[in-house]
Amino acid sequence: MIGIFGGTFDPVHLGHLRPALDVFEALALEELRFLPLGQAVHRPPPRFSAGLRLRMLEAAVADQPGFMVDRREIDSTEPSWTVVTLASLRAELGERTPFCLLLGRDAFAAFHTWREPRRILEMAHLVVMERPGEALFLEAPLEALVEGRITAEPADLARAPAGRVLFQPVTQLRISSTDIRRRLEQGRSLRWLVPEAVERLLPRFQDDRPLPD
């Protein structure tokens, strides 16, 4: 099975990478694709340019077998809707190949507000990584959306191409890109919060701004 981990990665940090590795191992994934956001539709534009976010991600995953970076959103000039990205992956991987979308609990809590969530569930499984400090409260529309789909068994995901929701406990690391950006602005150390390769890249690019549209 293939895993897709979408995010802004502004910048990527160990709170993305270690939980992603936990999922990779627990589900025995063949491949885990990190998919950095291209044109933001839900949130303000990232602090760092697409080029630098991509470079940092590539540096972060370079020595982990099975991890790779998928640049389709970055290379596209269209707004990055997950449903559109998944349709393009489906077209490439075929109808029957199971794949799962990894997301943190905070992202999952708003899943029902995404564009065409039902269609997303027709194309992919969801793997919700337990994130520290966030109690799970499912709003009624989200509960309705996932009803009958939840499983505790990773093997269930390999049996169907899409449509199941798995809650996967992962290493709890209270690290966020927001905090990393704040530390960077204050000239503080990023050591042991981001991979060394990312730590080496970041300070030199403090003035990096998103590329104009």
Q: Is 176 in the site for ligand ATP (CB under 6 A)?
A: yes
Place of tokens 């979308």: 101
Nearest distance from residue 78's CB to ligand ATP, in Å?
A: 20
Q: Using CB under 6 A, which of the segments 9-17, 68-76, 141-149, 187-195 binds ligand ATP?
A: 9-17
Contact status, residue 130 vs residue 168, Cβ threshold 8 Å: yes
Q: Cα–Cα distance between 6 and 40 in angstroms, integer?
A: 12
Nearest distance from residue 190's CB to ligand ATP, in Å?
A: 13
Q: Is 16 in the site for ligand ATP (CB under 6 A)?
A: yes
Query: Of 133 and 148, which has the nearer Cβ to ligand ATP?
Result: 133
At 74, list the tokens.
């970055």
Contact status, residue 27 vs residue 1, Cβ threshold 8 Å: yes
Q: Binding residue for ligand ATP (CB under 6 A) from 2, 26, 107, 138?
A: 107
Q: Using CB under 6 A, which of the segments 113-121, 139-147, 173-181, 185-193 binds ligand ATP?
A: 173-181
Q: Is 168 in the site for ligand ATP (CB under 6 A)?
A: no
Q: Is 129 in the site for ligand ATP (CB under 6 A)?
A: yes
Residues in contact with ligand ATP by CB under 6 A are: 7-10, 15-16, 19, 103-104, 106-107, 129, 131, 173, 175-178
